[in-house]
């Protein structure tokens, strides 16, 4: 038998942690590289390097120590990925480049003829005035480094233009606030042979711009489900992406719009650990290892709840049972708005 593959993961948060847990089950060794000692993933990886992303020598050593490198979040500096041989990096640099900047992401959607919310680049006061008079309620979003609603400000025609807004010029977009019916996401995976498969759709509820609940599977009328999959397939294929990619959607009265592309495993796919025959984490590690992916089967209807900030205190000493699965992220510090763990309730067992 071949020796075990060794896969390096850039980023050591809870997504990295669950990638490491899945890897253990399928016989893959993991090496986490992340700049933060308080890293959920370090408790489960075979190796852990705590160094800065821009430390060239350490990135090269890391790259030499593994067979393949993947990433668990999109805010890794592009310079870091440029130090890694293209053949070793899955997904490739294109997936990160096209999605870590909201303006470039929207241009990609435009190129692919995929619907998204009306927006404008925010470069001067005129852009601001134009947007609030044409969009009504709007959201200013920083182009880069936003997550969990960070870097977003809600504005409308009553908002006074001031320094807080002008300080965001040349690094933000301003987008129409969409009166959506609900939000949902499509988690999909592409293998090195170009095969794409889709997990069941998930309905998502955000509180204070942070994902709070996911319900799966979501039942959408057949033509819309087909359309969401077609959109996701277009994106994942255009990027030559290898591994899991997630598309977040708004369902409006008339249509569906893409809100965001995440070139990685996603919080709205956590339920697949218990809900499917293979989780988003396993199939990601298999896909980046070069294994042909088999379509996972839906096993259970699930409801995932994020534990945010001090909500974790109610669950630290509890044990999972047949109804609820408790996932703790082992973060040292509890902060307001920080994802500390999640619960997955199995609603209907063996629905298929
Ligand atoms: P995350 O990391 O959770 O994906 P993020 O910081 O990348 O968040 P977005 O996904 O753009 O930011 O926005 C977070 C949430 O804010 C959305 O899921 C949605 O609930 C709300 N939101 C964002 N843009 C809009 C919009 N144009 N209209 C209405 N609601 C919006
Ligand atoms: Mg989002």
The first and second tokens of residue 275, run together, are 């809900």
State the pLDDT at residue 148.
75
- Out of 260, 261, 264, 269, give the residue to mutate to test ligand 1, the one with the largest number of ligand atoms within 8 Å of its CB: 260
The response to whether residue 147 sits with its C-beta less than 6 Å from ligand 1 reads: yes
Burial of 221 (0-12, 13-18, 19+ CB in 10 A): exposed
The protein residue with its alpha carbon nearest to ligand 1, atom 3, reads 148
The response to whether residue 260 sits with its C-beta less than 6 Å from ligand 1 reads: yes
Distance 45 CA to ligand 1 centre (A): 31
Using omega within 30 degrees of 0 as the cis cutoff, is the peptide bond preceding 334 cis? no
Residues within 5 A (CB) of ion ligand 2: 248, 260
Helix axes 14-25, 280-289, angle to 10 degrees: 70
State the pLDDT at residue 1.
43
Contacts of 162 (CB under 8 A, 6+ apart): none
The protein residue with its alpha carbon nearest to ligand 1, atom 16, reads 209
**Which ligand minimizes its atom distance to the CA of 139?**
1
- Out of 118, 137, 152, give the residue to mutate to test ligand 1, the one with the largest number of ligand atoms within 8 Å of its CB: 152
Each residue's pLDDT expressed in tens, for the chain with a length of 352 residues: 457 899 999 999 999 999 999 999 999 999 999 999 999 999 999 999 999 999 999 999 999 999 999 999 888 999 999 999 999 999 999 999 999 999 999 999 999 999 999 999 999 999 999 999 999 999 999 999 877 777 789 999 999 999 999 999 999 999 999 999 999 999 999 999 999 999 999 999 999 889 999 999 999 988 999 999 999 999 999 999 999 999 999 999 989 999 999 999 999 999 999 999 999 999 999 999 999 999 999 999 999 999 999 999 999 999 999 889 999 999 999 999 999 999 999 986 655 4
What is the DSSP code string of 181-246? Answer: SEEEEEEEEE-TT--EEEPPPEEEEEETTEEEEEEES----HHHHHHHHHHHHHHHHHTT--EEEE
The protein residue with its alpha carbon nearest to ligand 1, atom 27, reads 177
Q: How far apart are CA 321 and CA 221, in angstroms?
A: 34
The first and second tokens of residue 110, run together, are 């435009």
The protein residue with its alpha carbon nearest to ligand 1, atom 10, reads 260
First and final C-alpha spacing in the chain: 35
The response to whether residue 183 sits with its C-beta less than 6 Å from ligand 1 reads: yes
Element (H, E) at 257: strand 256-262
The response to whether residue 74 sits with its C-beta less than 6 Å from ligand 1 reads: no
Distance from chain centroid for Cα 109: 17
Ligand 1 atom nearest to 146, measured from its CA: 6
Q: Is the dihedral of CA 190, 191, 192, 194 positive or negative?
A: negative
State the pLDDT at residue 201.
98
Go through the chain and tell me how many residues it has: 352
Ligand 1 atom nearest to 204, measured from its CA: 18
CA angle 18, 22, 28 (to 5 degrees): 125
Short-list 281, 196, 288, 194, CA closest to 233: 196
Three-class DSSP category at 91: coil
Short-list 233, 252, 236, CA closest to 116: 252
Short-list 180, 160, 184, 164, CA closest to 172: 164
Short-list 215, 218, 200, 335, CA closest to 276: 200
Ligand 1 atom nearest to 180, measured from its CA: 29
Distance 148 CA to ligand 1 centre (A): 8
Distances (CA, A) of 49 to 11, 63, 66, 166, 318: 10, 11, 12, 39, 31
8 A C-beta contact, residue 266 and residue 185: yes
* pTM to 2 decimal places: 0.96
Three-class DSSP category at 92: coil
Ligand 1 atom nearest to 178, measured from its CA: 28
């Amino acid at each position: 038998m071949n020796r075990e593959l060794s896969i390096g993961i850039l980023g050591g948060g809870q997504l990295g942690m669950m990638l490491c847990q899945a890897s253990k089950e399928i016989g893959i060794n993991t090496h986490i590289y992340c700049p933060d000692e308080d890293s959920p993933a370090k408790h489960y990886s075979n190796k852990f390097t705590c160094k800065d992303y821009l430390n060239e020598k350490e990135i090269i050593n890391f790259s030499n120590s593994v067979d393949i490198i993947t990433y668990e979040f999109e805010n890794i500096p592009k310079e870091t990925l440029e130090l890694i041989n293209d053949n070793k990096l899955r997904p490739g640099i294109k997936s990160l480049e096209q999605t870590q900047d909201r303006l470039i992401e929207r241009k990609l959607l435009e190129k692919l003829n995929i619907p998204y919310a009306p927006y404008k680049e925010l470069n001067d006061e005129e852009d601001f005035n134009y947007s609030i008079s044409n969009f009504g309620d709007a959201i200013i979003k920083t182009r880069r480094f936003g997550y969990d609603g960070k870097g977003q400000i809600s504005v409308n025609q009553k908002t006074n233009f001031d320094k807080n807004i002008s300080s965001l010029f040349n690094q933000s977009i301003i987008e129409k606030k969409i009166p959506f019916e609900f939000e949902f996401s499509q988690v999909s995976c592409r293998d090195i042979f170009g095969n794409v498969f889709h997990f069941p759709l998930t309905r998502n509820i955000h509180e204070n711009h942070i994902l709070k609940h996911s319900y799966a599977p979501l039942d959408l009328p057949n033509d819309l489900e087909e359309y969401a999959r077609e959109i996701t397939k277009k994106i994942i294929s255009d990027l030559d992406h290898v591994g899991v990619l997630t598309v977040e959607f708004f369902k409006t009265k008339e249509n569906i719009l893409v809100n965001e592309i995440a070139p990685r495993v996603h919080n709205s796919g956590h339920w697949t650990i218990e809900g499917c025959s293979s989780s988003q984490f396993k199939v990601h590690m298999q896909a980046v290892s070069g294994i042909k992916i088999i379509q996972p089967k839906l096993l259970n209807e699930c409801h995932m709840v994020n534990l945010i900030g001090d909500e974790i205190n109610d669950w630290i000493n509890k044990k999972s049972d047949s109804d609820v699965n408790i996932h703790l992220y082992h973060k040292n510090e509890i902060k307001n708005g920080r994802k500390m763990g999640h619960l997955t309730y199995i609603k209907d067992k063996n629905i298929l």
